[in-house]
Amino acid sequence: MEDLKIALYQACLDFIHQRIQTAETALEQAREASNDDTKSSAGDKFETTREMMQQDISRNKRLLADAQQNLQMLESLQDVPVSLQVKNGSLVHTDNGVFYISISAGQIKLDSIQAFAISAVSPIGQLLLGKKEGESFSFNQNHYLIEKIS
């Protein structure tokens, strides 16, 4: 079980590093495009294009900041001890799936195991927080029984 938690942590870490790299590349490309743009004779068209480029830069900066924040949060979960209650960093085994409370990385497939990396602030994450083994909850008309927390 602990090996699964380590593998899920690593998969989430890889996911976030990829997001950071993608955002940095997009930001650099947007900056280069903005710097390469020269003023044309169609002044309004130039200003509109320049504004669109600035919006693209701003959007990529937000994506990068969000990914970096997720990385910091994920790194804080690296050595979270096992708890009797679900908390950030918990690996929760239910009768309807496995959930790793960490970042929103979605479905992760590791060999024959399928798990979901979810944020504690997601709707299902909020339902899980504080629950103990043997407790149950419902989400999207599905019933879940918590079998194990690691």
Which residue from 5, 4, 14 is spatially nearest to 81, judged by alpha carbons?
5
Let me know if 70 is exposed, middle or buried by CB neighbors in 10 A (0-12, 13-18, 19+): buried
* Confidence at residue 49, expressed as pLDDT on a 0 to 100 scale: 74
Residue finishing a domain among 75, 108, 138: 75
Among 89, 88, 98, 90, smallest CA distance to 145 is for 98
CA distance 140 to 142: 5
67, exposed or middle or buried, with CB in 10 Å at 0-12, 13-18, 19+? buried
Q: For residue 145, what pLDDT is reported?
A: 98
pLDDT score recorded for residue 63:
94
pLDDT digits (tens, 9 = 90+) for 52-100: 888 989 999 999 999 999 999 999 998 888 899 999 999 999 999 999 9
What pLDDT shows up at residue 46? 56
pLDDT score of 110: 92
Question: Are 55 and 105 found together in one domain?
Answer: no
Residue 47 domain flag = yes
Is pLDDT above 60 for 144? Answer: yes
What is the predicted pLDDT for the residue at 45? 58
Cβ–Cβ < 8 Å for 122, 101? no
Asked if the structure places residue 110 within a domain, the reply is yes
Tens digit of each residue's pLDDT (9 = 90 or more) over 3-46:
999 999 999 999 999 999 999 999 999 888 777 765 544 555 55
What gap in Å lies between CA 91 and CA 36, rounded to an integer? 48
* Domains contained in the chain, number: 2
126, 132, 133, 137: CA torsion to nearest 10: -40
Provide the residue range defining the domain that includes 29.
2-75
Which residue, 75, 102, 130, sits at the end of a domain?
75
pLDDT for res 81: 87
